[in-house]
Amino acid sequence: MRIALAKLLLQRPNMLLLDEPTNHLDIEARNWLEEYLRDYPFSVVMVSHDRFFMDQVCRRITEVWNRTLTDYPCSYSRYLVEREERVTRLREAKRRQDEEIGKIEDFISRFRSKADKASLVQSRIKQLEKIERIVLPPERKRIRFSFPEPPRSGRIVIELKDLTKAYADLTVLDGVSLTVEKGERVSLVGHNGAGKSTLMRILAGDPFQKGERKLGANVFLDYFAQDQASALDGGRTVYEELLAEAPYDSVPLLRDMLGAFLFSGDDIHKKIQVLSGGEKNRLALAKMLLRPSNLLLLDEPTNHLDLFSKEVLLDALRSFSGTVVFVSHDRHFINALATRTIEVGGGTIRSYDGNYEEYLEKIGAATLAGTESPNRTLLRPGTTDNGDKVSLKRERLLSREEEKQRQREERARLKKLAELEEKIGESEAELVLLERSMGEPDYFSDADRAREGSAAHANLSALIAGLYEEWEALHAEGEP
């Protein structure tokens, strides 16, 4: 999927149609794509369930709802506000309209049988027929789900000491230590392949080569893996699978829960074996949320969820009284939930208090100062040349910034070229129309019109010549 996206972007079409472009991208790749699309000189139309990404890239939202399209020329966050304001205005307008219709209908029913009021009744009937009825979009059902109250755990929930995990010759985690305390919401971040899922599996109980994993007192963990759907019973229906493990007091909430995870109507009676991969993942997540665990390990829980379902899950996790360790590539989700961010990469882990935005600020400040924060150890175990490492990192950062600047300048050049081409086209079309008009037999019989036309022709010709010169100079800048 990443290769397909890269091939598409390299073609630089004048209209990009992107359906969930951030799927399968880690946060670094999403950040790069966000910057690229924000400066893209042509049109981009996308479907996305990544709220942060849309806020950064999109300047217009078109809502597909109730079989209609409604346009909002703003960011996604602003759209949420404007939509609510629009629906509120519609409700008030409909209330007033309903009152007016009620009065007219009451008049018609009272005087319909009276001959002396026949003309007035007919007038009211025609008035009623001309009213364009206001139709409100159906109310979105507000679903709230809360976890079962988990048992109380000790202060230390889980601990890793000097732990090493390798696959053949590849060492993914090299002598790492980590302590997670009760009530924390810990986000694991890092590029694809850095070892986030490996660390999650070890926290869940997978074997490792060296070190120690210690579970805290009275800790009951539940683990949502990226392939969690494979554990479902294909012979059951969606509802039966959820019912099989639901506590008695949660049974009345099952349909609401399934609705929150996009199963509604007859969908709940589908056999699991016919569900798509995304549907199975959503059901696996809903099923996991039923169990009263006090440590949740979630590896990409927001995959295949729409924006509404993500908010339901986010609200539930924020009000959860237990501990959460999670991997997500959704920046809005991380920022709204995380109290600590763990960077995984290069065989090490580095801890930062706060969410992803605060993590970015801290590593940015450390980079500007030419140092790293106390928690951020650049060196792998066994290395000593810290000065060379920092120097090399500075060089790489400078090189990266220079490349970013070059890319920004190139995008600006291409955008300017496109604008010039459009302006040249418009001016040439205007010149063609003018010349066609000047070619009419009686055009020059009017001296004033002939003088104005000749001046306009000279001005347009000079403008087009200047635009072509500017275009050629700008085009030459991009040649090797």
From residue 400, give the alpha-carbon distance in Å to each of 86, 158, 395, 396, 406. Answer: 45, 38, 8, 6, 10
Of 81, 51, 65, 70, nearest in space to 139 by CA = 65
Name the pLDDT band for 366 (thresholds 50, 70, 90). low
Residue 324 is predicted with a pLDDT of 95
Pairwise pLDDT comparison (395 vs 284), residue with the higher score: 284
User: Which SS3 state, helix, strand or coil, does residue 205 take?
Assistant: coil
Q: Determine the Cα–Cα distance for residues 44 and 12; give it in Å rounded to an integer.
A: 11
Q: Is the dihedral of CA 449, 451, 454, 459 positive or negative?
A: negative
pLDDT of residue 390 exceeding 60, the answer is no
Query: 455 pairs with which residues across the strands?
Result: none
What span, in angstroms and rounded, lies between the C-alpha atoms of 133 and 93?
10
* pLDDT average, residue stretch 182-200: 91
pLDDT at residue number 141 = 63
> pLDDT digit string (tens) for 272-324?
989 877 788 788 888 877 777 899 999 988 877 778 778 888 888 888 889 99
Please report which confidence band the pLDDT of residue 143 belongs to, taking 50, 70 and 90 as the band edges. low
Tens-digit pLDDT profile for residues 155-187: 999 999 999 999 988 899 999 999 999 999 999
Predicted local confidence at residue 144, as pLDDT? 67
What pairing do the DSSP bridges indicate for beta strands 323-327 and 295-299? parallel
Number of H helices, E strands in the chain: 14, 13
Indicate if the pLDDT at residue 211 is higher than 90: yes
Work out the burial of residue 82: count CB atoms within 10 Å of its CB; fewer than 13 is exposed, 13-18 middle, 19 or more buried.
middle
Residue 219: pLDDT band (50, 70, 90) is very high
Contact yes or no for 163/212 (Cβ under 8 A): yes
- Of the pLDDT bands very low, low, confident and very high (cuts 50, 70, 90), residue 410 is confident
Find the mean pLDDT for residues 427-451: 83
pLDDT score, position 450 = 83
Residue type at 111?
A: F
- How distant, in Å, are the alpha carbons of 51, 85, 221, 295, 322 from that of 218? 37, 48, 10, 10, 12
Q: Kindly report which listed range (63-72, 92-101, 224-233) carries the lowest average pLDDT score.
A: 224-233
Q: How far is CA 271 from the centre of its chain?
A: 30
- Cα–Cα distance between 327 and 338 in angstroms, integer? 10
Q: Is the pLDDT of residue 4 over 90?
A: no
Average pLDDT over residues 4-18: 90
Q: Across residues 138-150, what is the average pLDDT?
A: 70
Give per-residue burial for 106-129: e unless 16+ CB within 10 Å, then b: ebbeeeeeeeebeeebeebeeeee
